[in-house]
Amino acid sequence: MTFNNYIDGRWVPSRGGAVFENRNPADQTDLIGTFQESTPEDAADAVAAASRAYASWRLVPAPKRAEILFRAAALIAARKEEFARDMTREMGKVLEETRGDVQEAIDMTYFMAGEGRRLYGQTVPSELRNKFAMSVRQPVGVCAVITPWNFPMAIPSWKIIPALVCGNTVVFKPATLTPLSAVNFVGVLEEAGVPPGVVNLVTGGADVGTALTTHPDVSVVSFTGSTAVGRLVNQNAASAFKKVHLEMGGKNVVMIMDDAQLELAVDGCLWGGFGTTGQRCTAASRVVVHEQVYEDFVEAFVERTRALRVGNGLDPGVQMGPSVSDAQVATVGRYVEIGRQEGARLLTGGRRLCDGAYARGFFHEPTIFGDVQPAMAVAQEEIFGPVVSVMRCRSLDEAIAIGNGVTYGLSASIYTRDVNKAFTAMRDMYTGIFYVNAPTIGAEVHLPFGGTKATGNGHREAGVAALDVFSEWKSIYVDFSGRLQRAQIDTE
Ligand code: NAD
């Protein structure tokens, strides 16, 4: 089946006529469909449609915009299972997790639709008599939404829904590896009654992304993806002073203290390290363990990791699916080799799985390196695969120093029963997200989400913080005195 772009309320093919295939990463013989390999001209058509639609959409009362979004949330909820299956088929994570991904889109859509009746500003007293002062949020214009493949419905919802509730219009370019989930999401918005041109979908790769980030009529660029591409997006959008929101890579850390509940910590590291096959921006790819409990932790962690069932995410009982692509599993292999050469100790895993049905997909053993030194590449660089690097520490201070000693700053966690240690780490880890006695993954939609340093550029998605990306503040003064009053000068 061939899927089209969605521009100005119509499902249309790319002007260039080229398409690309979308295949199941667990089974490359399974063709999911062909999608439009769009051109910069298609992107320009979508921006033009979004610009036209903005003129009327921004004037629709926010509670009315929200009514459409509430309908969309209910439609996604009704199709949760179907959308989750499509997602597992196109990007590989296990069904339980893709259900969670769709649920996050439902939660976000309900949460942000609720903002239609809030979008709070402030009223404040004026320093002058008979004068009224307030601040209101105003929409910004056309938003380009560029997303990765690892959360193919959740991440688009984090961006598109707040953009819409604020009164903006959207051109959405999903990752080439997950266009079906994008089609599913946009189809629901259409069915819910989002007017033509308000949301547009253009599938394709870097050319489409570049066309959007450089288009003069795009006012906001909201990007989630790798730090390398995020830097390019930032540079491309800078000369026109676009508002740019970047969520990028991570190298997240779990710190396990000598008083931790070790079994709980092992559970957390398994889920945080190998959930989504390690392909989460918040994946627990580093574990720093107090030397007193290092051996016990490693023994249990390795044993539990060896027992993980790897396979097609659609099979019940499978706990870890494939990597998303040939390139991604090759990257995993490359880092396993680098880790070996650096002198890290391979404790389990380390091989690509190629026997039997595995040969049709991109499977890799869940892999743990022990005795890792903080400066090694496997402890510094984002691998985005099922590889966890375990390090030793002698104290909380050392764990925090190792934890902060990377270029990224997305998520961190501590396992301890000592409240003093928990609060110290909570204060001193320079990350956007922090967990106590839980792994580095598990964000909820009503709190801000994002990272520091090379992970983000100071914005946040989710929570009401996301509204700051998709709206601008306008301060309004109403003078009803009937005379000229000069702020900072007139005293009466
Ligand atoms: P990627 O950077 O390769 O691609 C992201 C998106 O950018 C895709 O839609 C891609 O087509 C598009 N793109 C590529 N070149 C472009 C260009 N020149 N201009 C504009 N757009 C362009 O990332 P990916 O492989 O899809 O996703 C994995 C990365 O995403 C990891 O680094 C991961 O940490 C990160 N990620 C971050 C978060 C977060 O919230 N911080 C969440 C999920 C994923």
Per-residue pLDDT of 424-455, as tens digits, reads: 999 999 999 999 999 999 999 999 999 999 99
Q: Is 281 one of the annotated active-site residues of the chain?
A: yes
User: How many domains would you assign to the chain?
Assistant: 2
Domain containing 79: what range? 2-248+456-476
Supply the angle between the helices 419-428 and 396-404 in degrees, to the nearest 10.
30
Whether 278 and 336 share a structural domain:
yes
Which residue has the CA at smallest separation from atom 28 of ligand 1?
Answer: 225
pLDDT of residue 80: 98
Under the banding of pLDDT at 50, 70 and 90, the label for residue 105 is very high
Mean pLDDT in residue range 260-277: 98
Cα(416)–Cα(411) distance, integer angstroms: 17
Mutate to test the pocket of ligand 1, among 229, 247, 384 (most ligand atoms within 8 A of CB): 229
Mutate to test the pocket of ligand 1, among 35, 178, 207, 226 (most ligand atoms within 8 A of CB): 226
Please check the confidence at residue 345 and state whether its pLDDT lies above 80. yes
What tens digit of pLDDT does each residue of 283-305 get?
999 999 999 999 999 999 999 99
Q: What residue type is 80 in one-letter code?
A: K
pLDDT of residue 263: 97
Whether 300 and 172 share a structural domain:
no
Cα(230)–Cα(456) distance, integer angstroms: 9
Query: Residues with beta carbon inside 6 Å of ligand 1?
Result: 146-151, 173, 175-176, 205-206, 209-210, 213, 224-226, 229, 232-233, 247-250, 281, 382, 384, 410, 451, 455
Do residues 436 and 265 touch, judged by C-beta distance below 8 A?
no
Please check the confidence at residue 481 and state whether its pLDDT lies above 80. yes
> Rounded to whole angstroms, what are the CA distances from 346 to 314, 365, 390?
30, 12, 10
* Cα angle 106, 142, 219; round to 5: 120
For residue 176, give the ligand 1 atom closest to its CA: 11
Mean pLDDT in residue range 49-75: 98
Please check the confidence at residue 491 and state whether its pLDDT lies above 90. no
Residue 444 lies in a domain: no
What tens digit of pLDDT does each residue of 215-241 get?
999 999 999 999 999 999 999 999 999
Q: Ligand 1 centre from 148 Cα, in Å? A: 5
Please check the confidence at residue 102 and state whether its pLDDT lies above 80. yes
Mean pLDDT in residue range 149-178: 98
Q: Which of 433, 409, 349, 429 is nearest to 385 (CA)?
A: 349
Mean pLDDT in residue range 274-281: 97
Q: Is 21 one of the annotated active-site residues of the chain?
A: no
DSSP 456: B
pLDDT of residue 175: 98
Q: Ligand 1 centre from 365 Cα, in Å? A: 24
Whether 113 and 10 share a structural domain:
yes
Residue 36 lies in a domain: yes
Whether 240 and 261 share a structural domain:
no
Mean pLDDT in residue range 18-31: 97
Cα(387)–Cα(332) distance, integer angstroms: 8
> Average pLDDT, whole number, for the chain?
97
Whether 221 and 269 share a structural domain:
no
Which residue has the CA at smallest separation from atom 9 of ligand 1?
Answer: 175
The domain spanning residue 74 has which CATH number? 3.40.605.10
Q: What percent of the chain has pLDDT over 70?
A: 100
